[in-house]
Structure 1
Amino acid sequence: MQSITGKTALITGAGRGIGRALAHAFAREGVHVALMGRTGANVENVANELAEYDVKTVSVQADVSNGGEVKDAVQQVKDTLGEIDILINNAGIGKFGRFLDLSEEDWRNVWDVNVMGIYHVTHAVLPDMVERQAGEIVNISSTSGLRGTVGSSAYSASKFAVLGLTESLMREMRQENIRVQAISPSKVITDFASDHNLSDGTEDSEHFMQAEDLADVVVSQLKLHPRMFVKNSELWATNPK
């Protein structure tokens, strides 16, 4: 096991849900946290929550689908916190409905955030990792990226792409001592789930996966000895009711 204390993590989609849970999990471990989100007020609120921990934080506003905004935001993070050791590509959106009911704009919006967003942020962060011959990249995918379901064609296509991107980048970056991995959870009870009618808000927290559970997995895997990693973790609720 290795310690991650003192490292710096950049989390996208950090204003709520999984991103917020990851921010708290990292801060508890003594990791300095950079919070990136499309809604500035949300990431600022999370940054304020992290004040209870003895770590440095910065919040930056950027839409990951906009390469220029991402580049500026990453530079702001580096100017404030220094080198980025850990990148968590968590930002994502969903659009659900039968294939013929989804517009081309729906598809492009999902693709631009879920796939091109990972491209933009990783492309801005990765060169420094390669130069240092060290780094961690975790891409948040979904079990929808492993199997399609009715009504999830756009979302599933984007999450399949995330896994393909992760696989290819992993094989390239192993030789640079950079670990690239994916996390593929089934339903996580967050605002994302309720916003898209994937949750009615009444689920028993003891039987459905919570954002904090996923964050625990990410932290645990980053603590593994640097000579190994888990390429893709498929996470499921044990006994959903």
Structure 2
Amino acid sequence: MNLKEAKILITGGNSGIGKATAKLLKDKGAEVIIAGRNKETLEGTAKELELGYIQADVTQEEEVVRMVEQAASRMNGLNVLINNAGYGYVANLVDIEPQKLRDQLDTNIVGAALCARECAKIFVDQDYGNIINIGSTSSLKGSPTASPYVATKFALRGMTESWRNELRPHNIRVMQVNPSEVMTSFSDNRVDNNKKEKQYTAAEQETKLRGEEIAHTIASLLSMDDRGFITEATVFATNPKV
């Protein structure tokens, strides 16, 4: 698609991957609205990047409906959803707390489905649209202590494949981006039952992915001519120091 014709809603757009993506796509000429539930950081990012925002909690159906309606109204259309809202709850199997697991499922899975559902209504009606779900390398493999988070990302990948097959006849491209560790996203949005969390040195952090690398991936996926699309992109740091 021509990014200058893109009208984009980014959930979880107030920080990390969402913020970096909003900045890059706006710089490339797209019209962008960010959404999130933290009003303070949302307002700060919107002011910094000079773009619109909508406060919404993706776990609340009525708020998602309002968010999508407002985004489409403000931009006089909508043709891209970047489904980025989410966080990581990690714990050893013997320490999993059911409510924390349910809360994460509500955001990472139910929230993603609600956002896609409401945008898909518009996309099907106009016979065109793009959905990019932000997954993780945890969509592809299990990891010790991370089963709650991994479960949500495996589920997201399954939904992505299902929506892709369902929506292709309507010229809707459904894609997924799987970042490995990104210093500005998962590491800042993590609920951890484990006693110690790895602290990276400045030198180690320099070798990790940033939100900007994921933003460039998203822009590349969207920029492909509409006659084709890349279904899934997995992004690794070239030579991370652990």
Q: Do Structure 1 and Structure 2 share a fold, with TM-score over 0.5?
A: yes
Partner of 2:4: 5
Aligned position for 1:30 = 29
Return 206-215 or 72-81, whichever deviates more: 72-81
CA distance in 2, matches of 1:201, 1:157: 29
**TM alignment of 1:183-194, pairs within 5 A:** 183-194=177-188
Structure 2 distance, partners of 1:58, 1:50, is: 9
The sequence identity of aligned pairs, in percent, is 34
| Aligned residue number for residue 240 of structure 1 | 240
Task: Report the AA paired with residue 41 of structure 1.
Answer: E
Indicate yes or no: 2:96 matched with 1:102. yes
Dislocated runs of 4+, deviation >2 Å: 194-206
Unaligned runs of 5+ in 2: 191-196
Worse overlay, 66-75 or 190-199: 190-199
- Deviation string for 1:138-160 (max 9, x for gaps)? 00000111111111111000000
Are 2:73 and 1:79 aligned? yes
Alignment pair present for 1:91 and 2:85:
yes
Matched positions, count: 235
Query: Which range moved further: 69-78 or 202-211?
Result: 202-211
| C-alpha displacement of 1:192 | 3.1
The answer to whether the Cα contact below 8 Å between 1:170 and 1:181 also exists between their aligned partners in 2 is yes
Distance (Å, rounded) in 2 between the aligned partners of 1:109 and 1:146: 22
Matches within 5 A, 1:1-241: 2-51=1-50, 57-196=51-190, 197=197, 200=200, 202-204=202-204, 206-241=206-241
Are the aligned partners of 2:87 and 2:189 in contact in 1 as well (CA < 8 Å)? no
Change (3 A) 1:62 1:198: farther
Could you give the per-residue CA deviations for residues 53-82 of structure 1, whole angstroms, max 9, x where no partner exists?
A: xxxx32111111111111112222222112
Shift of 1:49: 1.6
Is the Cα contact below 8 Å between 2:17 and 2:185 reproduced in 1? no
Q: What is the rounded CA distance, in whole Å, between the counterparts of 2:47 and 2:78 in structure 1?
A: 21
Q: Structure 1 stretch 128-137 or stretch 189-198: which is displaced more?
A: 189-198
The superposition leaves residues 198-237 of structure 1 with CA deviations (integer Å, 9 ceiling, x where unpaired) of: 6536354542111000000100111111111111111111
TM superposition shift of 1:167 = 0.4
Deviation at 1:169, TM superposition (A): 0.4
Instruction: Give how far 1:38 is off.
Output: 0.8
Cα contact 1:166–1:181 (8 A) shared by 2: yes
Shift in Å, 1:195: 5.0
Deviation at 1:126, TM superposition (A): 0.8
When the two structures are superposed, what TM-score results if normalisation uses the length of structure 2? 0.92
Instruction: State how far apart, in whole Å, the 2-side matches of 1:13 and 1:37 are.
Output: 5
Q: State the SS of the aligned residue for 1:95.
A: strand
C-alpha distance in 2 between matches for 1:30 and 1:214: 18
TM-score (norm 1): 0.93
5+ residue gaps, structure 1, are 52-56
SS of residue in 2 equivalent to 1:180: strand
CA gap 1:70/1:38 in 2 versus in 1, 3 angstroms: same
**Which one scores higher on RCO, CA 8 angstroms, separation ≥ 6?**
2
